[in-house]
Structure 1
C-alpha cells in the first residue's frame, strides 16, 4: 500500500515542540530497526545538513510509549525510528492504527540544531561582508560534533589567519544586531526575488520552495529549523578555515546555551 507524504508541521511552526498526529503504520527494516509512520510530524528528519530530532511518541489511549532515536524521510514519508519503553507491549500496535498519538520533541537538541543551522546561513552573509563573496555556498554540515559550511572556490593560504578573524567579528556583529527569522513557502518567482533574483539549479522551476530569511539579509531555500531571532544564535567562534582542491570549508562552533 502506497503511503501519502507526511505533513511537516515544523515547516510553518519551527518552535513547536509538542503536537498530536494519527498513527498510520509500523515499519521494521531489514536492519531490525523499528519505525512509526504518522500522518503529520513536528520531528525534523536528518537531512539538509541538520541532524534528526529525538523525543517521545505516546499513544493517547494506551500506555504505549515510543522513544524516538532517529528520524529519516524517504519519498516524502517520514520514518520515526526508535524503541518502545516496554517492548512486551509491541503486539498492541495493530489495534492502535488510526488512533491519536502525542509527539514530544527534545527541546535542548532542537534548540542546538536550530542555532547551528541558522549560524551556517549567517556565515554566508558574513563571507560577503569580508570580501569572500566570490565563494559560492556548496553545502553545510551542521552536526554538533563539527559544524562547517563548504564553498566552491579557494583563496590564498596566507590570507587565512586575517580572514578567519574578520569573519568571526562580522558574524558576531550580525548576531548582536539581531533580526527576526521568517520562513515561507513561495512560488518559484517569489522565492527567486527574495533570494536576490535567482535560485540554485537544484530548485525545480515548477516547485514552491520554502525560503528562510534571517533579518534583512537575502533569503535562501532551506527545509530545516531555525531560531526565531538571529540574536538567539549567541556568540560564534570560527575555529578553522581550509581551502584546497577548489573548495573552502569554514568550521565554527557556538557558545553553550
Structure 2
C-alpha cells in the first residue's frame, strides 16, 4: 500500500476536522521525514493545509499512517563506500498543485552512494514553463551541494571530482552551461547566474538523466505502486526487519 496523494483540493466541499489533532500528527511525521525520504512528498502536501484541514485531508493522512504501519521496519540502508563522490538528482512537478498551479521542487543528494539530504517543497511562485520549474529545482539543489562541499572541505575530506547533478529536463540541463535561452529566462536571472557560475568554475557538473531513472520523481508527485516501490528501493529505503531479527546460532 502506498500513500496515493494526488489530491484535488476543494475545501468548501469538505467538513472541518479538529485542527489540533491534525497538526500534532503532521508535526510528528516531520521528524520521521528525517529518516524516510519516501514520505517526503506526502508530508509536504499534507503540511500545506494545517491552517484549515478538512475531512479530505484527514482521510489522506489516515492513508499515509496506514502505509507507515505497513512499512514500520523500513529505513535507509547505509553501505560502505570506497569513494566519497557527491551526486544529486533534481526534479520538479510542473504545475502539479491543482489549487494554485504552483510546482513542486525536489532533490535527493547522495554522498558515497548513500542518501544524505532530500527535499520536497512547493515553489513559491508559478512557473511559466517546465524549464523554469526544473531550473528553480536545480538552483535549490545546487545551494545544498555547495553547502555539503564546503562542510567536507572544512572537515578536510576532499572530493575527487566535482559534484554531479542529474536533471531529466533537457532544456534546463542545457541552460546550465549555455546562455542561448537567457533572453527567455531573465525573470529568474539570480538562479540562472548562480548555477552557471558554479558550472563555469568547475565546481559542479550538470548532466541529463532519463525520466525513468530520475529517482527524485518520487518526491514530486504520486506514482503507481510498482514505480513507487522501484524508486523507493533505489533510494535505499528498504525493509530492515531482517536486520532487527538478528541471527540464531545452530
TM-score normalized by structure 1? 0.27
TM-score normalized by structure 2? 0.28
Query: Which one has a larger percent helix, Structure 1 or Structure 2?
Result: 2
